[in-house]
Amino acid sequence: MAQDDPLSWIRPEVRRLAPYHVVDPGDAIKLDAMENPYRLPVDLEQPWLERLRKVPINRYPDPGAEGVRSRLARALGMREGNAIVLGNGSDELIQIIALSVAERGRVVLAPGPSFVMYRMIAAFTGMRFVEVPLQAENYTLDMPAMRTAIERFRPAVVFLSYPNNPTGNLWRREEVLEILELSPGIVVVDEAYAPFASDTLVDVAGSRPGLVVMRTLSKMGLAGLRLGLAVGDAPLIGEFDKLRLPYNINVLTQASVEFALDHAPVFERQAERIRADRGELFRRLAAMDGVRPYSSEANFILFRVIPGIAASVHACLRERGVLIKNLATLPQLEDCLRVTVGSPEENTVFLDALGHCLG
C-alpha cells in the first residue's frame, strides 16, 4: 500500500508553527534571556557537589519530588486546601494546564504583547488563541476590552504574566481580581518574575478554585535546573498532576533545588542586588538621548529607540559583544529592545556599547 506523505498527518497548526529559535550567544555578554548573572557562591560549591555525589542516578527520581514540594510549600506559606504541581520549567506547566482543558473550539486568552509560550502552547494543544491588546501608551491592561473578550470568548484559560514579559510592568491587583471574577474558566497568574516584583498573588492562590499561581526558579538563578511550580486549589492541581509525566523532575534537579532552597537567603540577596541595579540601569537609559525605557518590576527593561533603528542597534551591540533581545518585529513593540539586568560590570559594558551604537 502506498504510504501517505507523513507530513500530511501533522496537524496544520503544528505545520504552521515556526521553531522556537534561540540565538547562539558565542562569547557575548548574555543579556537576552532574563538569566541571573550570578552563580552559586564558591563556598557553597563543595557542599552542593557533596549532596549530588550521594544521588543514586541509577534509580528513578521520587515521582512526587516530595522534598522539593514540601520546601516550596513552606517557602510560599501555602494555605490549607492548596497543593503544588511541579513542572520541568513553568513552560511545561503551561503545557500541562493547556492540555488539561484542550478541546477544539476552546479559547486560550491573554493580554498582549505577553509571553510567547501562551500562544505557542495554545497551538500545540489545538486551541484558539485570543490576544487582547494592551493600551498602546504604557502597556497597561485595557479593561473594557478584557471584559468584552472574556464575555465573548468564554476562555478555558486566561494567562496573566504578573509582572508582564516583555513589558516589565505589573497589572493592578484589583484588575487581576476582576478578571478572575469574570472568567468562567481557569486563570493562571504567571509570577516568573516574583523575586523582582513589589506584589504577588500567591496569598490568594486557590482562594477562588480557578486561580492558579505559577512560579519558576529560572529567573532567580537556577534556569539550568528547569523547575517550575503551580499552586492552587488541591482538586484542580490534582487534575494537572495526572497529566504530568511521572518522572518529569530529574534526580539531579531535585537534589540541587533542595540544596538551593536550604540556602534561600543567598538567592534573596542576589535578587535584591539585581533590583537595585535595575534602578541604576533605568536611570542611565532614561538619561540617553533617543531612548525611552519602560519602568520594570522584573529583571529586565524594555526600551524604545527612535523609529527604524532597533534592528541596527541590536546588530551593533552584538558586534560589540553584547546580546540583548530585539522585539521590534512584533506587534505593538515597534522600535523596542529588551535588556536583562546583568552584573554592574555587564550593565556598564552594555550602556557604553549602546551609547556608541546610537552614535
Tell me the three state secondary structure of residue 313. helix
Helix then strand count (H, E) for the chain reads: 12, 13
Query: Is 340 near ligand PLP (CB under 6 A)?
Result: no
Q: Which is nearer to ligand PLP, 107 or 213 (CB)?
A: 213
- Establish if 301 lies at the interface with ligand PLP (CB under 6 A): no
Interface with ligand PLP, residue 256, by CB under 6 A: no
Give, as ranges, the residues between 50 and 89 that touch ligand PLP (CB under 6 A). Answer: 89
Of 31, 82, 115, 354, the residue at the interface with ligand PLP (CB under 6 A) is 115
Selected from 61, 111, 113, 228, the binder of ligand PLP by CB under 6 A is 228
Q: Which residue has the cell 555578554?
A: 29
List binders of ligand PLP among 141-200 (CB under 6 A).
161, 165, 190, 192
Q: Does residue number 342 form part of the binding site for ligand PLP (CB under 6 A)?
A: no
CB of 141 to ligand PLP, least distance (A): 15
Grid-cell match 534556569, residue found:
223
Q: Minimal distance in Å, beta carbon 329 to ligand PLP?
A: 19
If one asks whether residue 248 binds ligand PLP (CB under 6 A), the answer comes out as: no
Distance CA 57, CA 61 (A): 8
| Cβ–Cβ < 8 Å for 129, 108 | yes
Which of 82, 216, 270, 296 contacts ligand PLP by CB under 6 A? Answer: 216
The torsion defined by the Cα of 234, 235, 239 and 244, in degrees rounded to 10, comes to 20
Instruction: Report whether 32 contacts 300 (CB < 8 A).
Output: no
Residue nearest to ligand PLP (CB): 89
* In the complex, least distance from residue 223 CB atom to ligand PLP, rounded to whole angstroms: 6
Q: At what angle do helices 42-53 and 251-262 cross, to 10 degrees?
A: 140
Query: How many residues in the shown chain lie near ligand PLP by CB under 6 A?
Result: 13
Q: Report residue 263: phi and psi, to 5°.
A: -120, 40
Is the distance from CB of 51 to CB of 259 less than 8 angstroms? Answer: yes
Residue 32 binds to ligand PLP (criterion: CB under 6 A): no
